[in-house]
Structure 1
Amino acid sequence: MQRDALVDGHGRRIGDVRVSVTDRCNFRCQYCMPAEGLPWLDRDAVLTFEELTRLVGLLASMGVANVRLTGGEPLVRRDLPRLVGMLREVQGVEDLALTTNGYLLERDAAALVDAGVHRFNVSIDSLQQDRFYAMTRRDALPQVLRGLDALRAAGAGRIKVNAVALRGFTEQEVLPFAAFARERPFEVRFIEFMPLDADRAWKPEDVLTGAELRAIVEAEHGPLVEEEREPHATARVFRFADGAGRLGFVEPVSNPFCADCDRLRLTAEGALRTCLFSLRETDLRGPLRAGATDAELERLIRDAVWRKELKHRVNDPGFVQPERSMSAIGG
């Protein structure tokens, strides 16, 4: 059944949903969670594959055609390729993507590609093994790099490598990543550090901006050439002047892209969030498990989306960090 398009109160048509399949993670990245980890959800609190498929199907019937699976770390969810296969069959879903820390890709790459994942984002904050360990608290860089090779061998489509940009750390990583992007068929993207850390230690001065990162690259490689921004894209993408390699810069702090945001987020326990920095969310699991009809769920979703925030307000006086950290939201 095709429904009317999903539109927020600012006239933005919603086309993308980030679906967290678990809050659990096998890394302990410093910008995300404490070394000892966080309390995990009880397993029966997490949406089942059938519940996720129903909600994605309902959203897809309203024009939300792009689905990205996230966590936590999504590959720790048992039988994830089975969920991918279920979502691939949902009418209206046009694109299936996955964000992962890459630790289990060597095991799962082929199954995920065969099941229907079109695009992959793999988080790697350093290409130096000791610094990778310092940031993630896991000695896993070689395994993650083998996972990238496994994706290529499996015939994965577009593959991006994501690095969170932290002042005092990422300055030393920029040029190695630039070389990596020139030598291998991956778009490297730098993402400005956002106030979504569980330690709540974020400070504006910790943000290494996209402009600063580009300056480091251009001092070594000459001017970068900016590509035309795709509608609703989160990154500004640049290519090297000789055409060898692409870099993306996601600048939610220094250069917000809220004006044409078309994204929703569904947490692992079924809370709908209309902004990464939302201070409110809408429970869909409760009504879903209480027997709500699709029409009743649709009304809940439309009411929440109509109130979608105009912008995230990170740079405004009095900004309040959401209670959930990134791992509990699903980035």
Structure 2
Amino acid sequence: MAASSGSYPTMSLCPVCLRRVPARREVDGADGYVVKTCPEHGEFRTRFWHGPPAMVGWNRPKVPGNPPPILTESRLGCPHDCGLCPEHGQHTCTALFEITARCNLSCPVCFASAGNTPPPDPEVPALSERFARIFEATGPVNVQLSGGEPTVRNDLPEVVAACRKAGFSFVQLNTNGLALAADPGLAGRLADAGLVSVFLQFDGNDDACRVLRGGPLYETKLAAIEACVGANIGVVLVPTVAPGVNDGQLGDIVRLARSMAPGVRGVHFQPVSSFGRYPWAAGPAARVTLPDLMRGLEDQTDGMIRAEHFHPPGCEHSLCSFSQPYFLEGDGGLRPAPTSGQSCCSPPPPIAADEGARRSRNFVARQWAAPTDAPKKDGPMDDFDRFLADAATARRFTVSAMAFQDAWTLDLERTRGCCIHVATTDNRLIPFCLYNLTATDGRTLYRGHDGCV
């Protein structure tokens, strides 16, 4: 069979000057490239997909829908009117609030460049107002409290409680875990305030931590997990995967997480992107792509996890992520659970944007929270009993990944399908990748500008 090829028009930004420029998504066999030309800085060609699976066929079609509400007008054109503007095609699934710019680490790969002369933390009343305004705009979406490092705030339980009071039922903490390990009682106080889940930075062994975080943190991370599980908070391990650093530890991380299930709910891999404190000449440089992760997981788990298990997302753009829920099986085993999404070999029918966002919100809220057991039943089980047993989240474990776009790989078609939105201090909602986008000289598109932390 001949290798596939093709070119699909889109728009992007120059990674040097952030000028909006025409671009194309170029297919070369199983690989995908973003190719763009700036009249001042020339052509850039960056591989963002390194199959198999091939980029062609990896698709979950979406029917775009304007997000409610439209908070900004479209005047300058995408991506300069974010808020969300009428050009956006997806509803909010997760609203991310940065509640501090301070941090107790200085990670070389920090997308927020946290700790560099940070502004004062917003006070709880101001945050309460922001939570209420965003809830009024989006309804009960999932919330992630981020930073900086949120646990440097002594009033973090009050912040969590204010978020819950605004109406948000799924509140997750994005954290490096240092404070949770140092003060085991903190997890209990956060659970009492209404925290549901912890998105725990977890990059592998101490060697990986030294490169990505500046020091050996493996045992600290384990202590943070223990504290959260003991407080009945669901834990998701979140490795930042960098080539030549920890891309050979994918299987080890999954096996560790599986050994700590069901308290650990799964692993969410994030290939490192060229923004924040970690810009590099990413055009010609090697990247860890989503297919690299799929194949790496298959190779490093001896086929327990297989690339063919994974399916494109039903919420964000198909090229942004993959996922698969598993059943916990035996002593350390995983068995694929049925999903509404399908693999690249069997594309499902198109899904409306609002329905995809709703399903994604519900799945995350159910799967990443603390585990629940199925109702116990004595005697024979009928089909409904078996359905309830399968639905018990205590039996489930999820492996997923999301590839963030940077100034080299930015594709505005993908961006308009984003469902993870940063809530700004002036109550706008900006797609995550655009909020954190960094030019080669460190200039930002949104972060640090008016209304943005």
Give the TM interval when normalised to the shorter protein.
Answer: 0.7 to 0.9
- Determine if the alignment matches structure 1 residue 58 to structure 2 residue 142: no
Instruction: Give the alignment of 1:128-147 within 5 angstroms.
Output: 128-147=205-224
Shift in alpha-carbon separation, 1:121–1:165, aligned structure 2, 3 A: same
Shift in alpha-carbon separation, 1:274–1:245, aligned structure 2, 3 A: closer
1:226·1:236 contact (CA, 8 Å) conserved in 2? yes
Query: Could you say which residue in structure 1 is the equivalent of 2:178?
Result: 103
Q: CA deviation at 1:41?
A: 2.4
Task: List alignment gaps of at least 5 residues for structure 2.
Answer: 1-66, 71-84, 327-333, 337-395
Query: Could you say which residue in structure 2 is the equivalent of 1:238?
Result: 324
Query: Could you say which residue in structure 2 is the equivalent of 1:214?
Result: 294
2:240·2:272 contact (CA, 8 Å) conserved in 1? yes
Query: Could you say which residue in structure 2 is the equivalent of 1:6?
Result: 69
**For residues 198-230 of structure 1, what are the alpha-carbon distances to aligned partners after superposition, in whole Å with 9 as ceiling and x for unaligned?**
253251424211211221221242224226735
2:103·2:115 contact (CA, 8 Å) conserved in 1? no
Percent of paired sites with the same residue: 17
Letter in 1 for 2:156: L
Letter in 2 for 1:242: R
Q: CA deviation at 1:139?
A: 3.0
Note the aligned Cα RMSD (angstroms): 3.6
Shift in alpha-carbon separation, 1:12–1:250, aligned structure 2, 3 A: closer
The 1-side partners of 2:195 and 2:452 are apart by: 17
The 1-side partners of 2:190 and 2:316 are apart by: 26
The 2-side partners of 1:178 and 1:325 are apart by: 35
Letter in 1 for 2:292: E
Shift in alpha-carbon separation, 1:28–1:18, aligned structure 2, 3 A: same
Which of 191, 209, 213 aligns to 2:270? It is 191
Shift in alpha-carbon separation, 1:130–1:15, aligned structure 2, 3 A: closer
**For residues 95-125 of structure 1, what are the alpha-carbon distances to aligned partners after superposition, in whole Å with 9 as ceiling and x for unaligned?**
2111101111132211111111112210011
Which of 423, 426, 431 aligns to 1:275? It is 431
Query: Could you say which residue in structure 2 is the equivalent of 1:90?
Result: 166
The 2-side partners of 1:195 and 1:52 are apart by: 30
What SS is found at the alignment partner of 2:208? helix
Which of 135, 146, 150 aligns to 1:74? It is 150
Shift in alpha-carbon separation, 1:133–1:265, aligned structure 2, 3 A: same
The 2-side partners of 1:192 and 1:264 are apart by: 19
Q: CA deviation at 1:272?
A: 4.4
The 1-side partners of 2:430 and 2:112 are apart by: 26
Query: Could you say which residue in structure 2 is the equivalent of 1:299?
Result: none
Shift in alpha-carbon separation, 1:104–1:235, aligned structure 2, 3 A: farther
Q: CA deviation at 1:273?
A: 5.5
Query: Could you say which residue in structure 1 is the equivalent of 2:116?
Result: 39
The 1-side partners of 2:289 and 2:110 are apart by: 18
Task: List alignment gaps of at least 5 residues for structure 1.
Answer: 281-311
**For residues 182-201 of structure 1, what are the alpha-carbon distances to aligned partners after superposition, in whole Å with 9 as ceiling and x for unaligned?**
32223112112122232532
Shift in alpha-carbon separation, 1:151–1:255, aligned structure 2, 3 A: farther
2:133·2:427 contact (CA, 8 Å) conserved in 1? no
Shift in alpha-carbon separation, 1:263–1:50, aligned structure 2, 3 A: same
Shift in alpha-carbon separation, 1:325–1:59, aligned structure 2, 3 A: closer
TM-score normalised by the chain length of structure 1? 0.73
Letter in 1 for 2:399: L
What SS is found at the alignment partner of 2:253? helix
Query: Could you say which residue in structure 1 is the equivalent of 2:386?
Result: none
Shift in alpha-carbon separation, 1:28–1:136, aligned structure 2, 3 A: same
What SS is found at the alignment partner of 1:150? helix
Letter in 2 for 1:176: D
Shift in alpha-carbon separation, 1:324–1:255, aligned structure 2, 3 A: closer
1:188·1:246 contact (CA, 8 Å) conserved in 2? yes
1:71·1:330 contact (CA, 8 Å) conserved in 2? no
- Determine if the alignment matches structure 1 residue 153 to structure 2 residue 246: no
Q: CA deviation at 1:15?
A: 4.8
The 2-side partners of 1:54 and 1:25 are apart by: 24
What SS is found at the alignment partner of 2:434? coil
1:97·1:119 contact (CA, 8 Å) conserved in 2? yes
The 2-side partners of 1:15 and 1:131 are apart by: 31
The 2-side partners of 1:38 and 1:99 are apart by: 16
Bigger-Rg structure (1/2): 2
What SS is found at the alignment partner of 1:50? helix
1:15·1:63 contact (CA, 8 Å) conserved in 2? no
What SS is found at the alignment partner of 1:170? coil
Shift in alpha-carbon separation, 1:138–1:279, aligned structure 2, 3 A: closer
The 2-side partners of 1:277 and 1:227 are apart by: 22
Q: CA deviation at 1:149?
A: 0.9
Q: As a proportion of its length, which structure holds more helix?
A: 1
Q: CA deviation at 1:150?
A: 0.9
Shift in alpha-carbon separation, 1:263–1:200, aligned structure 2, 3 A: same
